[in-house]
Amino acid sequence: MRISDQIALPLDWPQGCDDERFIVGDANREAYDHFRRWSTWPVRSTILVGPRRSGRSLLARAFVARVGGRLFDQAERQDEELLFHAWNEAQESKRPLVLVADQPPPAWGILLPDLRTRLAITPVATIYPPDDELFAALIQRLFADRGLYMPADALRYVVTRVTRTYLTAERVVEAIDRFAIAERARLTLPTVRRALVAAGLIGEEGE
């Protein structure tokens, strides 16, 4: 998937090989570009929210490693005093702070007023559920990680039959791979269809 045409100035986060693990699509392009333009943030902190297994931690880790920032995953579960001091330190040191969470801060139930005030002015970047194109790309990448190739007709079948979530993409690949190994079968459309039924990812009518 091409990403070079999507990036506008200022381009202050050089791309490296680690970034290749993050597949850019319409569902996450806004968040991806937000990190590439980090020098324009109003404060040296940001909040990244989105579904689990969406690559949010991958994106955040790649960013903080590249710019020398600090990351708190599952930020909504962290100690509030710790987050408060980390936020202040980020402003003083100019080293960005990234807070990864399921939802934006209003849903965190923050008790510390000073932290609540600071997070209220902190920009939020969002990764959304995958569309068909990103979902298909994720499945292809996960199969490629296992040294396997998913035929185009089988990939189209999966995308149009299963619930489209990041976690489902992983479950689909695991189920098909296990089934194919157990049956000593090639990755064909019939094999994929049977694997999804056996795993309960589609109903019998999916056949």
- Interval 174-182 mean pLDDT: 96
Q: Greater confidence, 195 or 5?
A: 195
pLDDT above 80 (res 6): no
pLDDT-derived band at 4, boundaries 50, 70, 90 = very low
Dist. CA 201–CA 204, nearest whole Å: 10
Closest CA to 202 of 174, 167, 163: 163
The reported pLDDT for the residue numbered 7 is 28
pLDDT above 50 (res 13): no
Structure tokens belonging to residue 142: 């996960």
CB burial of residue 111 (10 Å; 0-12, 13-18, 19+): exposed
- Interval 61-89 mean pLDDT: 96
Looking at residue 160, the DSSP 8-state letter turns out to be H
- Interval 151-160 mean pLDDT: 96
Q: For residue 125, what are the β-bridge partners? A: 48
The two beta strands, 97-101 and 45-49, are: parallel
The reported pLDDT for the residue numbered 21 is 78
Q: Greater confidence, 1 or 45?
A: 45
Quote the distance between the C-alpha of residue 159 and its chain's center: 18
Q: For residue 70, what are the β-bridge partners? A: 97
The reported pLDDT for the residue numbered 205 is 61
- For 93, half-sphere exposure in the C-beta direction (CA atoms, 13 angstrom radius) is 14
Q: Greater confidence, 188 or 15?
A: 188
Q: Are 207 and 183 in contact (CB under 8 A)?
A: no
The pTM score is: 0.84
The reported pLDDT for the residue numbered 155 is 96
- Report pLDDT digits (tens) over 133-154: 999 999 999 999 999 999 999 9
Residue 94 three-state SS:
coil
pLDDT above 70 (res 206): no
Dist. CA 2–CA 173, nearest whole Å: 24
User: In the β-sheet with 70-72, what is the strand arrangement from edge to edge?
Assistant: 70-72, 97-101, 45-49, 124-126
The reported pLDDT for the residue numbered 204 is 74
The reported pLDDT for the residue numbered 19 is 58
Structure tokens belonging to residue 78: 């962290």
Domain residue limits, the chain: 4-126, 132-206
Residue 124 three-state SS:
strand
Question: Domain 4-126 has what CATH class?
Answer: alpha beta
Average pLDDT, the chain: 89
Question: Domain 132-206 has what CATH class?
Answer: mainly alpha
Dist. CA 202–CA 34, nearest whole Å: 36
The percentage of residues in the chain with a pLDDT greater than 70, rounded to a whole number, is 89
The reported pLDDT for the residue numbered 15 is 43
